[in-house]
Amino acid sequence: MCGIVGYLGPLDPKDVILQGLKKLEYRGYDSAGVAILHNGVAKQVRASGKLQALEDKLKSENFNGRLGIGHTRWATHGAPTERNAHPHQVDGISLVHNGIIENDQDLRDELIKDGAKILSDTDSELVAHLVAREVKKTNSLQQAVENILPKLRGAFSIVVIWNQSPDEMIAFKDGPPLVVGLGDKENFFASDVQALLKYTKKFIYLDDREIVRIHGQKVEVMTSAGQPINKKSVEINWSPDLVEKQGFAHYMLKEIYEQPRAVAAALESHINADTHRIQLKVEGPTASEFTNLLKTTNRFMIVACGTSYYAAQVAKYYIESLVKIPVDVDIASEFRYRSPILDTNTLFMTISQSGETADTLAAIRLAKEKGLKTMSLCNVRGSSIDREAFVKLYMQSGPEIGVASTKAFTSTLTLLACLALDWAKAKDQLKSEDEIKIVKALLAAPSQIEGVLNYDKYFNEASQKLKSYRGFLYMGRGSSFPIAMEGALKMKELAYLHAEGYAAGEMKHGPLALIDERMAIVMLCPQDQWYEKTVSNLEEAKARGGQIIALGTGEDERLKSRSHFYLPLPKAHWMVNPIISTIPLQLMSYHLASHLGYDVDQPRNLAKSVTVE
């Protein structure tokens, strides 16, 4: 969703802001703009569409000031036009905003009554008017921001500058993420550390309802009432290289290819590669506190959205099978508005790559409120969800830029398999020989993924032939069922084609009616405990004319002879199959979308970090 960059320092703000906004492109946006000081006045330049349009406009612009703010907008209130793009300017105030002001209609009515000339359809411009009105009374930008906060309802982060105070930026966060970057004689604001890695590795993550004043070289963090807060900064060790494409056509392709390394990194700190034993290393509680928590907990609940939700579905198979406790999995946007029955003997986990998904964040807060022990599985250390959790586990995937989640998903599956093993061990449910067998199988996964990636040329060729299908049904049983849903999601979000993920056994309860020769049936059929039943479902689909694309184990002649395309995968343990089977599904969607000429890294209408509900 929207991206914010603010800069005060000796460099040219135009360069810093543009570089930063480029690194935030992955979040999804449809217009962009900057306001940078020039001859004591913040000059506003905005453009609809991609950043290139803004960059073209900025080519002939020079700024002699050292203060500026920039924004990429993902439209909520009003179309993605230049007029609605940020920053919004009112009487010397320039403001960028991420999030939603829920009482915008009331504010609009009040401002119009007060004589304000409102130029855009956005809720954000209204905040600029409120600050401008207030700063006239207080002559202090910080005071003006403090005074208007009680008037705003919703979830929002804002950064604001004022022509009359050319050495100052004020930010406020209540919802969408905002970090302060601490440099040498320069300081920054950004929605995400990735925007600033080129300039600094030192960050302050803001909590909700905190105000920050950057004034000259000073950074002050305060409560919304202006009381000073002593915030610790953290060092982020991601290198700027990690957020470059490194020769790949798209970030997504690079991230698909990073999976052997990402899965190995996910395993590294939890597995002893010599003894083949598991010990999950979490942050938050001590090792013995965590083991004790696992030992005494008899119910597990996982809440997430999108791809992270499908990973949670796989965990249900892992944990119920190994730990033998009930596992409930829920979509965060549903969970928070139901009346979930929560008992305090439940371990409550949220999974989120970004750690910022608004619904997932609200879910973990709700669980905490109800007195449950919480655990998070995030990729971004220090993110809002990570900070809420009692037990913290990290994906270790490195930055994921492509909007479609790839390496974070396979790393998550890897860690959930480790959690299942560790938990089963804590509950004395795991035989030593089984532990060794599964750990060895997990350790083999990175090179097996490597092996699948070697077939990329073949997946690319196969994907060319998929253009003509009317729709895609992805089918699987057991732990392949959530992978079918994940495969279908990738097809929808990248190639904009209709795709459904189904439990193969459910086919005859409805979807069978859809099948004819224009329908592609992607059958996940690894040789596991669900194999025979899945082959029967494949036969049913084939008998109705469905075009079968089967994924199986090795040279499976039975599957080959029944399929239009057969994609062989290496033989793996059933807990590793979901990790391996994901790779061809990602590649098929990626290649098909590329052939169709779509923006693979930033699919239309989608955002990487969904910070509004």
Task: Give me the residues that bind ligand M6R (CB under 6 A), please.
Answer: 305-308, 352-354, 357, 360, 403-405, 489, 493, 606, 610
What's the min distance (Å) between Cβ of 192 and ligand M6R? 12
CA distance 26 to 84: 20
Whole-angstrom Cα Rg for the chain: 25
CA distance 9 to 190: 15
CA distance 578 to 574: 8
What's the min distance (Å) between Cβ of 305 and ligand M6R? 4
- The closest of 168, 213, 6 to 98, measured between CA atoms, is 6
- For residues 291 and 307, which CB has a smaller minimum distance to ligand M6R in the complex? 307
- For residues 124 and 357, which CB has a smaller minimum distance to ligand M6R in the complex? 357
- Residue 510 CA to chain centroid, in angstroms? 33
- For residues 458 and 598, which CB has a smaller minimum distance to ligand M6R in the complex? 598
Catalytic residue, candidates 373, 407, 425, 608: 608
- For residues 301 and 403, which CB has a smaller minimum distance to ligand M6R in the complex? 403
- For residues 357 and 374, which CB has a smaller minimum distance to ligand M6R in the complex? 357
CA distance 586 to 245: 18
Rounded alpha-carbon distances, angstroms, from residue 437 to 265, 277, 416, 527: 20, 10, 16, 17
Catalytic residue, candidates 2, 305, 378, 418: 2
Q: Residue 2 catalytic?
A: yes
Secondary-structure breakdown of the chain: helix, strand, coil percentages, each rounded to the nearest 5: 40, 25, 35
3-state SS assignment for residue 351:
strand
- The closest of 556, 540, 552 to 502, measured between CA atoms, is 540
What's the min distance (Å) between Cβ of 248 and ligand M6R? 18
Other CB atoms within a 10 A radius of the CB of residue 113 amount to 8
What's the min distance (Å) between Cβ of 351 and ligand M6R? 6
- For residues 360 and 480, which CB has a smaller minimum distance to ligand M6R in the complex? 360
What's the min distance (Å) between Cβ of 120 and ligand M6R? 28
- The closest of 87, 46, 43, 88 to 62, measured between CA atoms, is 43
Q: Residue 608 catalytic?
A: yes
Task: Tokens for 199, please give them.
Answer: 């300039």
Rounded alpha-carbon distances, angstroms, from residue 177 to 97, 206, 479: 11, 7, 34
- For residues 188 and 394, which CB has a smaller minimum distance to ligand M6R in the complex? 394
What's the min distance (Å) between Cβ of 56 and ligand M6R? 29
Contacts of 450 (CB under 8 A, 6+ apart): 260
Tell me the residue number closest to ligand M6R, measured at CB.
Answer: 306
Q: What is the DSSP letter of 283?
A: B
Q: Do residues 210 and 222 touch, judged by C-beta distance below 8 A?
A: yes
What's the min distance (Å) between Cβ of 606 and ligand M6R? 6
CA distance 144 to 94: 13
Query: What residues act catalytically?
Result: 2, 608
